[in-house]
Amino acid sequence: MSPVFSMKNRLYYGSMRAGDTFIPPSITVDYLVVAGGGGAAASEANGGGGAGGMRCTVTATGGGGTLESALSLFAGGTTYTVTVGAGGTGDDSGSNSVFSTITSTGGGGVNFITTGKTGGSGGGGGGGTSSAGGAGTANQGFAGGAGFNSNDPRCGGGGGGAGAVGSAGTSSGGGNGGNGVATSITGSSVTYAGGGGGSQNSGTRTGGTGGTGGGGNGANLTGNASNGTVNTGGGGGAKGIASGIGGTGGSGVVILRYSDTFTISFGAGVTGTESAASGGYKRATITAGSGNVSWS
């Protein structure tokens, strides 16, 4: 068998004589995969939406998980699935985000009288019945905080974040969303996947604050809650009693880092951009859609 040699990132046996085999070049890809955050229903004293699950190879994963390993993939026309999860609306959970074999779970949604839904990070518990917060997913995010009920006030718990549990609702107001996790995969530190703040049913109490990393704030007595920030996976904030709506979860994001000797191609249905080379790397930031990517 002829020896393997390289030419412009392509490996061949010998000089590619008839019958020789093409070997696709390998590429090492670091990733950040954040799912869509959970939404908060249009009810008083709601819990905050849970943040989307976070998996990453450049900093520790969400939920106190360990650092994940980069993927060894193939360039030269091999395609890989990518999906950016949407944020949840109403009490819906967020949608999953996917890259190749990596899936991050959408954040848990919430409702006034129910336990927060499980998700990448769990939704906060409703204040209607002192409900428990929803559980997070191992190595992706933390649980939501419990709701509080003494008839007056009733206060929802904060949604869980990738970096911390959402705080419980108290007699003083809605619980705060759990904080997210910072990563420097883009070349600078950015925080993702914060939980949404809970709300309350009394004018003398306050809504909870959204967690760092895009979590929406819970509303006070009147007004709209804040949505989770787009492309962070932040959970939606909960609405106040008198008016307004619950916050929508922030959409997720997929960010890929790889050697600057390669160039990515985005398939139909995928919205993404590739950065200029810096420090030996290029980065692809995928902000919406579902389809395939490949490298050459």
The answer to whether residue 141 sits within a structural domain is yes
Same domain, 98 and 197: yes
Q: What is the pLDDT of residue 221?
A: 72
pLDDT in tens, 234-290: 999 988 765 568 899 999 999 999 999 999 999 999 999 999 999 999 999 999 999
Q: What is the pLDDT of residue 271?
A: 98
The answer to whether residue 18 sits within a structural domain is no
Q: What is the pLDDT of residue 12?
A: 40
Residue 248 to residue 85: CA distance in whole angstroms: 13
pLDDT of residue 57 exceeding 60: yes
For residue 147, give every residue at least 6 positions away whose Cβ sits within 8 Å of its Cβ, in sequence order, or none: 45, 47, 124, 125, 126, 127, 128, 129, 130, 131, 132, 133, 154, 155, 156, 157, 168, 169, 198
Residue 143 to residue 106: CA distance in whole angstroms: 13
Burial 186-202 (b: 16+ CB within 10 A, else e): beeebbbbbbbbbbbbb
Our count of domains for the chain comes to 2
The answer to whether residue 9 sits within a structural domain is no
The greatest distance separating any two alpha carbons of the chain, rounded to the nearest whole angstrom, comes to 82
Same domain, 205 and 279: no
- Find the domain containing 278 and state its range: 261-295
Beta strands in 121-236 (DSSP E): 148-149, 154-155, 181-183, 190-192
The answer to whether residue 85 sits within a structural domain is yes
Q: Six-digit token pair at 101?
A: 């074999």
Same domain, 52 and 163: yes
pLDDT in tens, 172-181: 889 999 999 9
For the chain, give the mean pLDDT: 90
